Structures are given as structure tokens and as C-alpha cells.
Amino acid sequence: MAYSVKITPNALRQLKKLSKTDSIQIISKIESILDDPLSHLIPLKGGNMHRLRVGNYRVIMSVNRGLLLILVLEVGHRKNIYKNI
């Protein structure tokens, strides 16, 4: 069963700041993991957040197995993304 994706307003704002090419690449990568997201994600310490690597960008997300929902929390460059968490 495929998961559904919800992007927070903050993550959507961050995604819109990126170039169109990078945004499309990130969205297509998220769509490609919907069947089995946990096999593609790396868990972060101290919570139920995970990260997805897309080139030089990282997508921080939370996965709810019960609701089959992926909540995209942050999108940003690998240098800066972990400062906000």
C-alpha cells in the first residue's frame, strides 16, 4: 500500500525558494519512495523524524505507519538543514 504525502507550509515555502530543477527532483524522489518509505529513509536521533537525501539537499520528514502518511517538515541544503531541527 502506498503512503500519501502532506507537505507543511514551511516546507512548501522552502521548496519554492529552490530552483525549478531541484524542486522537481526532490518531489519526484519523494514520489518514488511512497511504496516503502522506511527502506529509503535514514532515521534521525531523538525522535521519529527521518531524512531523505536528494543530491545536495535533504528532506526531513515524519512517517506515520498507522495512517500511511509521510509529513514533509523541512527541505533545505545539507549545510543548513540540521540547524533548524
Please write the tens of the pLDDT for every residue from 36-76: 999 999 999 988 899 999 999 999 999 999 999 999 999 99
The answer to whether the beta carbons of residues 60 and 44 sit under 8 Å apart is: yes
> What is the topology classification, in CATH, of domain 4-83?
YaeB-like fold (3.30.2310)
Write out the DSSP string of 18-59.
Answer: S-HHHHHHHHHHHHHTSSSGGGT-EEPSSSSEEEEEETTEEE
Contacts of residue 57, Cβ cutoff 8 Å, sequence gap at least 6? 18, 22, 26, 75, 76, 77, 78, 81
**Torsion on CA atoms 71, 77, 82, 84, rounded to nearest 10:** -70
Q: Kindly report, residue by residue over 2-36, the tens digit of the pLDDT.
A: 999 999 999 999 999 999 999 999 999 999 999 99
pLDDT at 53: 97
The answer to whether the beta carbons of residues 18 and 26 sit under 8 Å apart is: yes
